[in-house]
């Protein structure tokens, strides 16, 4: 339910808007008429040019009057808003610095925590790789011995059958190929994953978390590809104002603009 003070404030605001609307309405009909006639006007001789100048000058004068009235109407509101903004900034600026300081300190700590997590992850990866290599070597040695044993038995059996040397060689090769086909690959061991620490949350419900984004820093402008360069429009305009009329890759031309100036 609105209090008496709130109702009075709303009434004052309504009256201010009505007064501003009344003050600006005096320009409405004349502005509408000028816009209508200017739209239909065609300038083909000096007389019509004089009429166009008159319309253009009136349009500029009315626009200036409306802008003056606008500034006068919002002058009090602008001063009020500026004062409130300054009051709020006095309070919020130290808080903004405090927030920035805590963010920086949290970032430093979190970077250290993440560096330790990555160190542990790398240590786990190396340990897993060492174990994997050990299992691979043991399996290779087991398979080598199995091939040698199979080859020896195949040779013994072939000699017992009084096989030729060529048949013995073939039997040994066949025995080795059979062992290779039945060889067992070493078990693949995956390194353990060291999870990041969970997002901290305070009793009040506030939490702090990191958002990662890629940034850039130019270290050598001469190496940056041309399509990443931006044209310095301001320098070009300044050079043209100083008299520059030719510039490779740029068309410099004169543009005519009509302006109005009313008597003061």
Q: Mapped to the 3 state alphabet, what secondary structure does 128-147 carry?
A: HHHHHHHHHHHHHHHHHHHH
Query: Which residue would you say has higher pLDDT here, 81 or 247?
Result: 247
Q: How many CB atoms lie within 10 A of CB 32?
A: 10
Single pTM value for the model = 0.53
Least confident of 11-15, 40-44, 223-227: 11-15
Q: How confident is the model at residue 24 (pLDDT cuts 50, 70, 90)?
A: confident
Domain count of the chain?
1
Yes or no: say if 171 and 151 are a contact pair by the CB < 8 Å rule: no
**How does residue 225 score in pLDDT terms, banded at 50, 70 and 90?**
very high
Contact 158, 167 (CB under 8 A): yes
| pLDDT score at 1 | 44
φ and ψ at residue 199, rounded to 5 degrees: -65, 125
pLDDT tens digits, one per residue of 100-113: 998 899 888 888 98
pLDDT at 3 over 60: no
What is the per-residue pLDDT across 166-212, written as a single tens digit (0 to 9) for each?
Answer: 887 888 888 888 888 887 777 888 888 888 878 777 777 787 777 88
Neighbouring-strand partners of residue 247:
250
Two tokens, residue 245: 């009329």
> Is 84 within a domain?
yes
Residue 30 to residue 66: CA distance in whole angstroms = 12
Q: CA-CA distance, 239 to 255, in Å (whole number)? A: 16
Cα(63)–Cα(78) distance, integer angstroms: 21
Q: For residue 252, tell me if it sits in a domain.
A: no
**Residue 171 burial (10 A CB sphere; 0-12, 13-18, 19+):** buried
Confidence band of 258 (pLDDT split at 50, 70, 90)? confident
For residue 1, being part of any structural domain is answered with no
Q: What is the pLDDT of residue 127?
A: 93
Q: What angle do CA 64, 68, 21 make, to 5 degrees?
A: 105
The alpha carbon dihedral of 239, 245, 250, 253 has a sign of positive
Two tokens, residue 49: 């040019």
> Torsions phi, psi of 201, nearest 5?
-135, 135
**205 found inside a domain:** no
Is 124 a residue whose pLDDT tops 70? yes
Of the chain, the percentage scoring pLDDT greater than 90 comes to: 22
The count of other CB atoms within 10 Å of the CB of residue 175 is: 22
254 in a domain, yes or no?
no
In a domain, residue 61? The reply is yes
Q: What is residue 188's three-state secondary structure?
A: coil
Within-domain flag for 206? no
Domain-embedded: residue 68 = yes
DSSP-assigned letters across all residues of 96-130: HHHHHHHHHHHHHHHHHHHHHHHHHHHHHHHHHHH
The backbone torsions φ and ψ at residue 250, rounded to the nearest 5 degrees and listed phi first, read -130, 130
Structural domain of 101 = 12-200+212-241
Confidence band of 4 (pLDDT split at 50, 70, 90):
low
Position 247 confidence tier, pLDDT thresholds 50, 70, 90: very high
Mean pLDDT of the chain: 84
Concatenated DSSP letters of 146-187? HHHHHHHHHHHHHHHTT--HHHHHHHHHHHHHHHHHTPPPPP
Task: Report how far Cα 30 is from the mean position of its chain's Cα atoms.
Answer: 49
pLDDT, tens digit (0-9, with 9 covering 90-100), for 39-76: 888 888 888 888 888 888 888 888 888 888 888 878 77
């Amino acid at each position: 339910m609105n209090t008496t003070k709130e109702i009075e404030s709303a009434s004052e605001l309504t009256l201010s808007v009505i007064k501003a609307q009344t003050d600006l309405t005096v320009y409405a009909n004349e502005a509408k008429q000028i816009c209508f006639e200017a739209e239909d006007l065609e300038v083909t001789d000096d007389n019509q040019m004089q009429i166009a100048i008159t319309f253009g000058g009136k349009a500029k004068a009315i626009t200036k009057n409306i802008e003056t009235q606008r500034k006068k109407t919002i002058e009090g509101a602008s001063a009020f808003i500026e004062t409130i903004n300054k009051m709020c900034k006095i309070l919020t600026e130290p808080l903004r610095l405090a927030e920035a300081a805590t963010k920086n300190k949290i970032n430093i700590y979190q970077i250290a925590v993440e560096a330790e997590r990555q160190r542990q992850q790398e240590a786990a990866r190396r340990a897993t790789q060492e174990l994997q290599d050990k299992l691979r070597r043991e399996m290779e040695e087991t398979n080598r011995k199995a091939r040698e044993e199979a080859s020896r038995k195949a040779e013994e059996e072939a000699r017992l059958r009084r096989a030729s040397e060529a048949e013995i060689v073939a039997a040994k090769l066949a025995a080795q190929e059979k062992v290779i086909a039945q060889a067992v690959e070493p078990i693949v061991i995956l390194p353990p994953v060291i999870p990041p620490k969970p997002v901290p949350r305070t009793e009040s419900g506030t939490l702090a978390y990191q958002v990662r984004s890629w940034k850039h820093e130019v270290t050598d402008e001469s190496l940056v590809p041309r399509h990443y360069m931006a044209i310095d429009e301001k320098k070009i305009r300044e050079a043209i104002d100083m008299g520059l009329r030719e510039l490779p890759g740029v068309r410099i031309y004169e543009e005519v603009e009509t302006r109005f100036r009313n008597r003061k």
